[in-house]
Structures are given as structure tokens and as C-alpha cells.
Amino acid sequence: MEKILDWSKYLEKAAETVSEGIVMLKNDNGVLPLNKSDNIAVFGRIQLHYYKSGTGSGGMVNVSKVTSIVDGLIEAGVKVNEKLLEIYRKWDEENPFDQGEGWGNEPWSQKEMPLADSIVEEASKESSKAVIIIGRTSGEEQDARLEAGSYLLSEDEKDMLKKVRKYFDKVIILLNVGSLIDINDICKIGTDALLYVWQGGMTGGTGTAAVLTGKVSPSGKLPDTIAEKISDYPSDENFGQKDRSFYKEDVYVGYRWFETFSKEKVVYPFGFGLSYTTFDIEFLSASGEDILTFNIKVTNTGKFSGKEVVQIYVEKSQGKLGQPARILCGFAKTKQLSAGESQELSISVKKCDIASYDDSGVTGNEYCWILEDGDYSFWLGSDVRSAKKIYSFNQSNTVVVEKCSPALAPVIAFERIKPNKTDSGFEVSNETVPTSTVDEEKRRIEKLPTVIEYTGDKGIKLSDVKSGKHTMKEFIAQLSDHDLSCIVRGEGMGSPRVTAGTASAFGGVSDKLYDFGIPACCCSDGPSGLRLDCGTKAFSLPNGTLIASTFNRELVQELFEFLGTEMIANKVDCLLGPGMNIHRHPLNGRNFEYFSEDPYLTGQMAAAELKGLHSVGVTGTVKHCCANNQETNRHFLDSVVSERALREIYLKGFEIAVKEGNASTIMTTYGSLNGIWTAGNYDLNTVILRDEWGFKGLTMTDWWANVNFRSEEPKRSYYIPMIRAQNDVYMVCADSSAVDNDILNALETGIITRGELQRNAENVLRFVMTTHAMDRLTGSDDIVKIINRDESKNASDEPVVFYDIEKNLKIDLENVESRKGDNYAFALILKNLGWYKVTVTASSTQSTLAQLPITIFSMGTPSGTLTWNGTEGKPVSISCTIPMFSRFSAIRLYFAQNGLKLHSIEFELEKAEDNIELAFASEDQ
């Protein structure tokens, strides 16, 4: 069946998402929306380099075009000060954008153009309003820092604000950032309007312009609390530690902390966001026993049309456990309401969903979800601080909602926060966190799966299982030990079995498995759109923080239905996203990928994305499970967290994604959780995910993750703890067709059983049967036709060529010429991994002062830039050394200028790496 992907409607839906996710914090003096008569002076170099997303696996999307904020304003008919824009363009040419070097080493901000008073004064004579754009990127391997140019404004940025404020009566500041940055200097210097426009993907400028011009009234709400200082966040004391991070704040994360203990430290509360209009939120009624239904009427009382988000918070009985003062338990967004128009909404809250977890037995119900006796109150409003009490009920006795098994508790004692009620509110007290008493190995052995007797090949194909002709057990009985060792390993990156430039293939990764009718399924990054390292163009979506700020499940679901259709067009079965770790601290480098400080909002947004993908038959891998809340030393950091905090905060979003979003794939983390690296953590992967939540899908490791047994040092490519934990697939292996001695030896010695391998294989196969890869193998898959795409030719229109290389390779490039902004891509199948000398030979007839650079990307990472001057038409060779540590390596040449004729590219192995595990660059998905 043919499906149609209308690219123009895709763009419209993404821009609509951007508009609804923008959070307006301030709008004084009638500065917004802009008037048609306004002439706007735009300041800040990021007007020329809009940050569509952060970096790393969550942001590396090759796009045909990014609409910047200035582009969006001009396209919307706004008069922009061209003289000032040209000054910025000229300075930008003389001060090139700093791309950084290697993986995870991008600068968080760019050098700002120093502003002379004369430039600003001259601009103020022509323009009535000023727009200042401040930008920050973010990404893997490094956290933001409490320093100028990172979390804080740089001196040049502060100087820009002061001078613009001096000469302009009306100033608008836009924060093109992945997550929170410090706004104290902005508040001190002063501005009329302040908006978090976040990172909006390739249509960010279009969506932003729609808000600035009043085409759309802002309706985004803060997914995080903005406090006065970084030190005000309760996790600050333990954030950024190198070896071990104690989660002493426990369940008091974000607004849970501030509303309970530190209201005075809040600048803007969780859920806050202004509109061009005003709304009245009226509570009508509440009804129900086990499920409470709140009926609410929202009326637009202003002059603009717009949307409003209504939020419901619960104030639980303090009981013996102690509770945050407010917890988000429901929200809904209105339709577009015209002036004077009303809408009635219903929000349902299950009582079981507001239960708390007793990990100590203080209530007499150890390891249970409970509703303690006492009063429960519900608060309604447009943010956590403005919410008013609307309803209460008394729980006459403590009720056990669910009995659980003790799991994931820390093995190191530490103190956690607990509120102590006083006449004036709550003060901070502490209690000792309960530690684990579980015999983890005994638990695992007691639940060993039954071995399916080996039958050899009986001619049963996986399609026979899907059709019901044979059972899964009959099929798995055919698989040898070697087959089973292959099926638990992914192949990549850039496996030729699947779409070029993607993250991995899994499932049918050997010829024998393929002969059994097991297709190779394709994984691709990521949360912000398809990462296709071969240079194929894809759609870049708004980042996770912006998506959460929409508070609009239906809109997000619609957007991800478009993404799902794009995945089918590119033969991608599994998106490596959504990212859904908690914004525990504002400096986390990957906050841009994740949603919020609140687990309920996080889970709801993830579920909406999954529903959109599932509607067209593809899926997403929710990641990183769990407690991946900083980038500093992420491969070796041990997160020490109470069982209660894990279940109520750091696992809750994943639980919602599984139970409400029907998540079918989950990725574990790089790091350690209470002493065991999550890739080999049985309590996480089996006890909680499968036994308690009923998860039926597959789990995978992060790329080249460390794995360990408790009390052992972690190491990469260590399959045994992973297999025993029921983390089904190790991502990724250089060659998954080879018999792995570790697995076979472990089988022979009884360290693992054939039944455990068969169990993991069944998880993989059960998932594989539901994919488009299965349909492609059987010839019944959908075909997607893309229409109204904004480019005449896309890289995906041409097949990517693979070249075999043992130690040396020379590729003829005589037919390749550089064209500004274009790429030339191919892929290598390497016999030896290591460091390669790369020599490019090219010529040019341009002047000797011409600067003609080529950037070499290996697996999506810029690995070197070679620059030619004019060569009088003579071939000139330039070399650099790059690392290549993936057997299937996608190479892309990016041309920054026209006028360079290429002749050849040569690869020569300089240093082979015997220890591949140590050589791998960090390549997180």
C-alpha cells in the first residue's frame, strides 16, 4: 500500500509545535506582538546560526534547510533592519562559527560580536524595537558549566544587553537554548519581553515568528522551575561528581522541593507561561471514587485568541512517609479559543496513580505502593504557584495499592531529605535511606527460564510463527548456540544490512538467521529526527524541552505520526528516542533531549510520541533507563538513589511510557545504578520492567556500554551479565556473524543457560515480527511517496556505495566537484580498526587567496578539515589522521565553498587498535 508523506504539512505541524512550545515569561509595554509598522533591529550573532537542536546523537540530523528566526520574521513580512543585519554578516564572515573538534567537544556558545555604541545608536534611529537572540547548544559528553558563555551570560552578551537597553525603549530577548540558562543578568539589565524559544528544529524560525507577530498567541508552559541561583536546586551539592552521586534530595526534585521548602527562591514557577490574552479557569465539579473526574470551564477573557493549559496538582497526606507540597497529576490544553469563547474540559485522576512507595516499612507496608490515611487535596491553576484548592477527600485508612518486590535499593547508606511540619510550613530534616537486603543471585536462579530442547532446522520460518502456523517455541528450538549468540548482538554502526548511515541492525544479523526468515531491523537516532550519517537529508524536529513545554499530547502525537511515516520511507523500524530522563539539575548537558523535571509530564509526552509512531507501525526506544542525569563521567558514574525516589521520580516516566504508550523497546544507560551498571542489572531489566510492569518488548544496551556483575569492574562487550539480566541486545558489535567465545564458554561452564539465551531471543523475535522489516522481507510493506519536499534532489535518492578496505584504499573522485553546502558520501567496510591517514587530492583554478575547505565526517563526527587555496589547476594533496573504530564506517565530505575539483581520496592504516573496547569513541544513542 502506498502512503503519502506531505513534506509541506510536516513543516506546518513542526512549526505549530514550535509556536505552542515557546514560553513567554514577560511582556510589558505592549512590546509584543509586533506591529506591521515596526522596523526590527536584531542583535546577536545567533541570528545567523539558529540552534535547531543540541549536538551528539540527539541532534545530528542532516537537513536541507534551517529557517532561522530572522528568516522567519522576513518571511512573515516583518521589516528587519538590513544595515544592522549586514554588519553582523560581515563580522561573521571574518569570525567563523566555531564547530569545535571531535565528539562532544563543541563550545556551548559562540563568540559574540562586540557592539560599538554608534552601531546601536544608529540602529535605534531606524528601528522602533530591538530583538536580542542569545543562543546555547548542548549535547553529549559534557555538562554545561557555571561560567560565562555556558550557563551564565558572557561579558560581550551583557555588554550587548546594556547598550541595546540604553538606546531602545522596547527590547525583546529570545533564548534559543536547549534548556534553562541563568536570567539574573537579563532581569537586572532589564527587558520588556523575555521568551524561551528553545531549539525548534528546522522550522524553528517559522514557529517563532508566528508567535512574535501575533499569528499565534504563546501557550507554552515551563517544564522546569527557574530558581534564583544554581545552588538553590537541591541536587546541586551532588551534581557533577566524578565517581558517585548521592541523590540526597530524594523525591524532592524541581518544584517538589521549591513548593515544599523554598518558595522564596523561585523566579518563575513550574508550569508558568504568559499569553497575549487572559483566561478564567473555573472549577465546576468533581466526581468518582477510584477515578476522580474534574470538570473545568476555561473562558478567554482577553482580546486575542489563544490556548490555555489547565494543571491539577495533588497535595497528599504527609503521613509517615512525608510528601512534597504539590505533585502534578493531570493537565489538559484547550482548543484555540477566540475572545469571549469558553470550553469545558474533563481531567481524570486515578487514585492509584497518586500512591506513594514505602521502601522502609515505616507505614507497616514495606515495598508497597500505598495511599496513607489522611487528607488529600487537589489544586487547579495555570501553574503550580497560582493553583487554588478545589477539592479534598479523606482517606480513612491506609490502603495498599500494589505489593512489589524489593528492587534496585542502594547498598551504601546515606541520608535523604524528609519534611518536618512546623507552624510556619515545612523545614528540612533527614532520615537514613534503607539499603538492599535482597540476594540478587538467588532471585535470578529461582526464575531461570526453562530450556527449549534443540531440534535443528525444521524448515520453520518466522513468518510461520506470525501467521500462527507454528509456535514461537517451535521456531526457537531450531536455533543453535551460535545462532542464539548472534541474535543478542546488534551490528553497526552503519551496517550494510540496513539503511546506510544508521545506528545499527539487529535481529537477522547473520546469514543463517536471515535464512530462518528473521529480518534485520534498523535503528536510527534519535529524539530530534533521523540521524543518517551517510549524508541523507531528514527532518529536524523541535527538541524534547520544547515538546514538553507544549503540554499538548494530541499535537505531539500528530507530529510523530509524520516522523513515523518518514521512518518508513527510510526503512527505519526503530527510532532511538524519546529521551526521557529527568531534568534533575539545569546543567545536565542532555537536558535538551529530555522533557522535564516532572516524571508525569515526561511520561505523558513520551507516550504521545510513541502513539504517533505506533499509528503507522514503527516505534521508538525510550531511553536512558534510568537515572542518566549528568554527562560528566557518565560511563563510570554510580548514581546512588533510594528505591522510593527511583520508583516515584526516575522510573515513573518510563512506567507511563510502557503502560500508557505501549513502549516496545527500551535502552539502558552507560552508567551504574546503586553499584550495578544498568546494562547488566537484573532487578531493572527483569524484576521491574517485565515482572511488575508487564513489559513484553526488547531491551538494548547503549552503544558500546560497560557491563558488570556486582563488585566487579565494568567492561565493554561483556555479554554475560547482560544476557542474565534480560537486557536482550548488546549494541553494537563490529562483527555479529562471528561466534563469540565468551558466550559459548559461558554456556559450556553453566554461567549462563541456553534457556536464558532463548528467552532473550524470544523477546527480540516477538518484536521483530511486528516491524516493517518483517513486511519488507515478505514483500508486503508499505511504500511511502514524499511530496512537496523543499529540495529537488535528496541524498537518499542515490544508493550509498560500500568499499572494502584492509589497510589501504584509494577511491577515484574525478567526477566530484565541490558545491557550497553539498556533501559526498560513501561507506567503508574495514578489516582493521584504528587510526587512518586520509589524503585528499584536489585542484582549483581560483586565486591563490581563495579558501576552499572540505570537512571530513566519520560516523557523523567532524574528524578533520582540509583547506586548499587556489592551485593554478594543479592537483594538491592534503592529509589528516582520523579514528575509525566501527567496522562499517560512513564517510561524508562536506563542501563549504564552490570551485574545488576533487581527484581522489586515499586511506592508509597508521595504527591498528587491538583493544577495540578502549579505542571506541563514546557513541551514545
Per the CB < 8 A criterion, the answer to whether 227 and 264 are in contact is no
- Helix (H/G/I), strand (E/B), else coil: 141: coil
Q: How far apart are CA 45 and CA 59, in angstroms?
A: 21
Which of 533, 538, 524 shows the shortest CA–CA distance to 501?
Answer: 533
Write out the DSSP string of 448-504.
PPPPPPP----S--HHHHHHTSS-HHHHHTT--HHHHHHHTEEE-SS-TTSSTT-SE
Strands 279-287 and 327-333: unpaired
- At a CB cut-off of 8 Å and minimum separation 6, what does 919 contact? 833, 834, 883, 885, 913
Task: Return d(Cα 21, Cα 692) in angstroms, integer.
Answer: 34
Q: What sections of 58-149 are H helices per DSSP?
A: 69-75, 82-94, 117-126
Distance between CA atoms of residues 429 and 422, nearest Å? 11
Q: Please name the amino acid found at residue 689.
A: L
C-alpha cell at 346: 474533563
> Can you tell me which residue has the cell 518518514?
566
Side-chain-facing half-sphere of 769: CA atoms under 13 Å: 19
- For residue 682, which phi and psi values (nearest 5 degrees)? -65, -40
Q: Pick from 690, 763, 689: which is nearest to 728 by CA?
A: 763
In angstroms, rounded to a whole number, what is the distance separating the alpha carbons of residues 765 and 743? 19
- Going through 338-449 in order, the beta strands assigned E by DSSP cover 342-350, 356-358, 368-371, 374-381, 388-395, 399-403, 415-422, 425-432
What separation in angstroms does the CA of 48 have from each of 67, 70, 101, 160?
10, 8, 21, 16
d(CA 470, CA 480) in angstroms, rounded, equals 18
Alpha carbon separation from 419 to 20, 33, 227, 233, 369 (Å, rounded): 36, 44, 20, 16, 20
Q: Which of 525, 702, 740, 924 is catalytic?
A: 702
Q: How many helices and strands in the chain, by DSSP H and E?
A: 24, 45
Which three cell numbers, joined as nine digits, stand for 575?
527510532
Distance CA 638, CA 676 (A): 8
Closest CA relative to residue 698, chosen from 517, 612, 574: 574
Active site residue 457: no
- Cα distances from 746 to residues 751, 752, 849, in angstroms, run 5, 6, 63
Q: How far apart are CA 293 and CA 314, in angstroms?
A: 13
Catalytic residues, by residue number, are 702
